[in-house]
Structure formats: C-alpha cells, structure tokens
Structure 1
Amino acid sequence: MILNATTNNPADGFHSTMPVAPFHNGSTTNKLAKLSLKGSMVLDEKVLKDIRERRFSKESMQYWVTQGLSVDAQDQKGQTLLMHAYEAATASKANRFGQT
C-alpha cells in the first residue's frame, strides 16, 4: 500500500486536497471525532488501533492523513504505518496457510 499525501499544516505551506471518504457507520465517525493526533510525526497507539480495526483500509488512512498524520509518522518503536500494514498482511497470510 502506498499513500501519496501532503500535510495540512499551514506552516508547511501545503494543504491536502485529498477527499475524505465517509465511513459507513455513524458511530465510527463519532468515535473518530473523539480521537486526536499528538503530532503529525507521532503514530499514537489509539490512532494505530483505529487503523488496525479497519484493516488498514484506504478510507481510514485517508481520514488520518487529512487530519494531519504524516505517512512517515512513527510509533514508540520507530515503526511506520507501512511497517505495521506489512506485518498485518504477513500475519494474515500466515494464518490463512496455517503457518504460525
């Protein structure tokens, strides 16, 4: 999965024009509205959990990027979203084929 996005930070002089796809469930939208970013380069556990619950969907990624999350943001271990998505896909594939 590759994301192409810019920051919404006015200090950077860029503004994302990427549309935010609506989520299908109203409660999901309300839940997301309650979560907030700690910083554009900080991959917070709450944000990561939300993205994982939605299986790294395009819509969830677009939402957080338009909220200001950088695609290069890192968690406390230095892992980016791409690394987490790869691990999730690898684990899913291993589980399908009975490789644990």
Structure 2
Amino acid sequence: PLIVWLLVKYFGESGYNYEIIVIDDGSPDGTLQIAEQLQKIYGADKILLRPRAKKLGLGTAYIHGIKHASGNFVIIMDADLSHHVMGKIFI
C-alpha cells in the first residue's frame, strides 16, 4: 500500500528509526496477507505484525499496538486512513 511506501520513504530519508506495527483482528479482507508481503519487502524489523485471533474492538487494538511499540512517539492510523495525521503532527 501507498501509505507504507510513503512512511518508509519519509522516515528513511529523514534518518529516523521507525517501526510500522500492523494489528489485524481476524479481518477477512486480506490485511494480514498484505502485511506479510510488506514485511518481506521492508523487513521484519520495520514491519511488525501483531495479529489477534478475533475482533475485540478498535480501542483494544490501539492498546495492543501501543504495548508493542518501542519508540518515543506513536502515530495511530486506522486501515481506512480516515485520520489526517500528518497535518496534526506538524501543527
């Protein structure tokens, strides 16, 4: 997906250490399979897969992801890209 390519490009060019954590809660839309492909392209150290067995709610998915984050900053993004995060980061 384009968003992953953009994040990898931006953070890589900026010299930031980063990780992209993908939480999939058993969705039937192929999210996990796409994330596995991205992990093969960019590496398991940059694309971290943290699937869950079933849908447990958006809030618990956020918490699950944050628990696995190792950096000082966290950006949360839904799979449908409904949040305009970049504009909020630079304000």
TM over 0.5: no
Structure of greater relative contact order (alpha carbons < 8 Å, 6+ residues apart) = 1
Length-normalised TM-score, structure 2: 0.31
